[in-house]
């Protein structure tokens, strides 16, 4: 077994060798510009983009012309939220999102708030779910857009997107979902879920970094928004700029592979996930963050009380994981997601996310749970808080 074990698949995944193989010709030999319509080089590139567009659309139950290629989810989120806000500002200035969104959504919303839009941030329950009754109540005749993520990147909770989409549709409000963590891992269908706009990123499911897509519903209703990139008419003017052909080919291949392997992978991943969760939850100081069942098959997130999380991370340098604190310039800020699900400040700062995927072996999961349990037990024995709490209970 190679160390460290990579358990940070929700941050990024390795490129699947089958994806890379498909991309390679588009760097040096079939290197044409997909917009060059006068020669073979351009046609070749255009054809490859068309295949990728079809594969991407197929994975999410869309039609190819509703796919807009982008550099990833951050860009897809930015151009859709800002573009919709600008286009529909006559109709209203109200947007609804939730407190546990990725920063790409939260900070774009903040940007829009500074420009006169009103944003409602729905709260979530202890498992990270929004209350759809609250969503319904929050919608006014000024609401133009709801943006709720499909699956959370930190705690893995899967929102009731189908119901959210239905509520939006009934109220004639557009619905965007940040599906970056969901697409390629769990079934997503834009029609069944009443999704109008959806952001996707290749590098979260075995495709290359810097490649993604925005789904934009073309009919019932037809969605359009003002361009946020000027100077190119690519992607129907919704995202100008020379297409990243190898990246797009990689995204398409990643979509095709996920469509084929998803069912099997979900089963394998859920088994690994639940076995690790079961072992770790036997520790007296461990709690699981996120919904116990409505969660991504590959995501695990724990809080550990009474121990120093930095000491734990230091101990476990043979495991590549994420902590729940984003190291901002000077201070350690606890995760906004863990705060939103009601974890107290000190606990929110002591969380650990383990996320795995296609290339994670059974023995790596076993090794990780063993190492984690042993390290936490050792720190617990040394912890002054733990000694105090034990002597109190005696």
Ligand X SMILES: *Cc1c(COP(=O)(O)O)cnc(C)c1O
Which residues are marked as active site?
Answer: 327
User: CA 64, 70, 73, 76: dihedral to nearest 10 degrees?
Assistant: -80
**Using an 8 Å Cβ cutoff, are 358 and 13 in contact?**
yes
Terminus-to-terminus CA distance in the chain, angstroms?
43
Indicate the residue whose CB is closest to ligand X. Answer: 72
The Cα-based distances of 321 to 25, 46, 344, 357, 376 in angstroms read: 34, 39, 22, 13, 15
| CB closer to ligand X, 67 vs 104 | 104
CB of 72 to ligand X, least distance (A): 3
CB of 135 to ligand X, least distance (A): 19
Closest CA to 349 of 370, 324, 329: 324
CB of 47 to ligand X, least distance (A): 25
Write the DSSP symbol of residue 150: S
174 backbone dihedrals φ, ψ, rounded to 5°: -70, 150
**Binding region for ligand X (CB under 6 A):** 72-74, 102, 104, 149, 153, 178, 180-181, 201, 204, 212
CB of 178 to ligand X, least distance (A): 5
| CB closer to ligand X, 149 vs 174 | 149
| CB closer to ligand X, 234 vs 355 | 355
Closest CA to 357 of 205, 207, 187, 179: 205
Q: Residue 323: beta bridge partners?
A: 352
Q: Residue 174: beta bridge partners?
A: 145
**Using an 8 Å Cβ cutoff, are 137 and 90 in contact?**
no
């Amino acid at each position: 077994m190679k160390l460290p074990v990579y358990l940070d698949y929700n941050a990024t995944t390795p490129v699947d060798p089958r994806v890379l193989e498909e991309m390679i010709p588009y760097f040096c030999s079939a290197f044409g510009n997909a917009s060059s319509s006068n020669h073979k080089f351009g046609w070749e590139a255009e054809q490859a983009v068309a295949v990728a567009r079809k594969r991407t659309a197929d994975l999410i139950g869309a039609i190819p012309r509703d796919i807009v290629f982008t550099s990833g989810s951050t860009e897809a989120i930015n151009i859709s939220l800002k573009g919709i806000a600008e286009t529909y500002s006559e109709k209203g200035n109200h947007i609804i999102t939730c407190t546990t969104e990725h920063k790409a959504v939260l900070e774009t919303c903040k940007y829009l708030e500074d420009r006169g839009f009103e944003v409602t941030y729905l709260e979530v329950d202890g498992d990270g779910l929004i209350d759809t009754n609250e969503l319904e109540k929050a919608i006014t005749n000024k609401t133009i857009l709801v943006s709720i993520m499909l699956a959370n990147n930190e705690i893995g909770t899967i929102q009731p997107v189908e119901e959210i989409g239905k509520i939006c549709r009934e109220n004639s409000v557009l619905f965007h979902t940040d599906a970056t963590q969901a697409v390629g891992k769990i079934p997503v269908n834009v029609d069944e879920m009443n999704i109008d706009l959806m952001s996707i990123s290749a590098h979260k499911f075995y495709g290359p970094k810097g490649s993604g897509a925005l789904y934009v519903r073309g009919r019932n209703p037809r969605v359009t928004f003002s361009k946020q990139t000027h100077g190119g008419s690519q992607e129907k003017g919704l995202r100008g700029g020379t297409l990243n052909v190898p990246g797009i080919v990689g995204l398409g291949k990643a979509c095709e592979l996920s469509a084929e392997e998803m069912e099997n992978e979900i089963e394998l991943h859920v088994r690994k996930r639940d076995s690790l969760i079961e072992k770790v939850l036997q520790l007296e100081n461990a709690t699981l963050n996120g919904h116990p069942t409505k969660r991504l098959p590959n995501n695990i997130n724990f809080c550990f009380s009474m121990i120093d999380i930095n000491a734990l991370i230091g101990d476990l340098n043979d495991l590549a994981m994420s902590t729940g604190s984003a190291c901002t310039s000077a201070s350690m800020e606890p995760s906004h997601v863990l705060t939103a699900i009601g974890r107290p400040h000190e606990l929110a700062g002591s969380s650990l996310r383990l996320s795995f995927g296609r290339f994670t072996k059974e023995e790596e999961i076993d090794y990780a749970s063993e190492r984690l349990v042993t390290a936490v037990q050792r720190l617990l024995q040394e912890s002054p808080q733990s000694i105090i709490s034990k002597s109190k209970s005696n």
